[in-house]
A = this chain, B = another copy of it.
């Protein structure tokens, strides 16, 4: 890992072209040759960058100004960095990173609802998780108290594309005479008004899920055993 603070100008050419005027920035060069150009603001996204695999060539332009050219070995995209003045340049051996451990995403929500389907609709029982279809797996396939099929799509945040996804599943599932009629439940921790309107218009029920309450139910069960 090499960290360079420098007054520089950056030009990217690839899927789009982008230009950064001369200014002081931080250049991060990772061990794999990838380069990040950061300024003192924004979020975690650099102003400009080159993803690996790529190669960095250090040289000088016609005026004798230091010039780095980073080229993607895959797509041919290029990043040209003209360096007017180097304020700091240091290298550090970081070793390989042990990596990130994540927990608590949509998968967990799916697990909890698979264990407590009745919180979505009274009498609902699980048939299977990740029910396979030709266009992808349905999060939960259930059966209601009257024995009818119910497809459940689970999202952390309920937005319009989730309703579209469930709509596609329902359309396909309802072509199967063994399953039809299949109704849908759109479950999320929060459902945006537009998504709710679209779902309702299509006869899809909405269920707002209380993640903490579900976890609580799980804990209670765990204590019983």
Contacts and interface: CB of A to CB of B under 8 A. Distances in A.
A186 interface: no
B161 A100 contact: no
A214 interface: no
Interface string A91-126: 011111111111111000000000000000000000
Interface of A: 1, 3, 5, 15-21, 23-26, 28, 30-32, 34, 36, 38-49, 51-52, 87-88, 90, 92-105, 156, 161, 164
Which of A28, A93, A94 has its CB near the most chain B CB atoms (within 10 A)? Answer: A94
- Copies, count: 2
A92 B24 contact: yes
B97 A16 contact: no
A197 B15 CA distance: 26
Contacts of A28: 26, 28, 38
Contact of A51 (B5, B44, B87): B44
B48 A100 contact: yes
Nearest to A47: B100
A26 B92 contact: yes
A220 to B, nearest CB: 21
A44 B40 contact: no
A75 to B, nearest CB: 14
A36 B44 contact: yes
Contact of A21 (B36, B39, B98, B105): B98
Nearest to A98: B21
Given A21-B98, A97-B25, A101-B19, A49 B44 contact: yes
